[in-house]
């Protein structure tokens, strides 16, 4: 079976954070990222005009060895999301959330890799548009 088209690369990482305000301050002030979207007080999406770095507030203590929420693989368009979903299903990959469209115009799905990491395959319009302009 051939690999579907449309993979751009790993341009999105999301982390669980207890001290969200401190993390936002560090990544904006020290690292130079900008807030792309903050849908609510517990979720902030930062960007460096090419990547999306999501911070999600949690109220529990995560395992000290695991603070990663998921790894996002950005795709070129919404159709690529559906193609990759079919590809994963055909390879018996465990799907945790079927493809859906989000409020910000993105479309994606979630699955687990072979050792249990949560992966997101997502079309994120700002990244796709930026790459088309290059």
- Residue whose C-alpha is closest to residue 103's, from 125, 84, 70, 75: 125
- Segments of the chain scoring below 70 in pLDDT: 61-67, 134
pLDDT recorded at residue 62 = 63
pLDDT recorded at residue 100 = 97
pLDDT recorded at residue 134 = 65
Write out the chain in H/E/C secondary structure: CCCCCCEEEEEEEEEEECCHHHHHHHHHHHCCCEEEEEEECCEEEEECCCCEEEEEECCCCCCCCCCEEEEEEEECCHHHHHHHHHHHHHCCCCEEEEEEECCCCCEEEEEECCCCCEEEEEECHHHHHHHHHC
pLDDT recorded at residue 46 = 94
Provide the whole-model pTM: 0.69
Query: Half-sphere exposure (CA, 13 Å, Cβ side) for 22?
Result: 4
């Amino acid at each position: 079976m051939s690999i579907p088209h449309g993979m751009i690369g790993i341009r999105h990482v999301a982390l669980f954070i207890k001290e969200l305000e401190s993390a936002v301050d560090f990544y904006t002030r020290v690292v130079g990222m900008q807030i792309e979207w903050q849908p609510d007080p517990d979720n902030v999406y930062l960007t460096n005009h090419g990547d999306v770095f999501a911070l999600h507030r949690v109220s529990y203590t995560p395992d000290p060895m695991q603070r990663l929420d998921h790894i996002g693989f950005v795709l070129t368009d919404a159709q690529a999301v559906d193609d990759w979903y079919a590809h994963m299903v055909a390879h018996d990959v465990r799907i945790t959330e079927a493809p859906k469209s989000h409020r910000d115009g993105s479309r994606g799905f979630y699955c687990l890799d072979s050792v249990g990491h949560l992966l997101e395959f997502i079309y994120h319009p700002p990244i796709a548009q930026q790459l088309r302009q290059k």
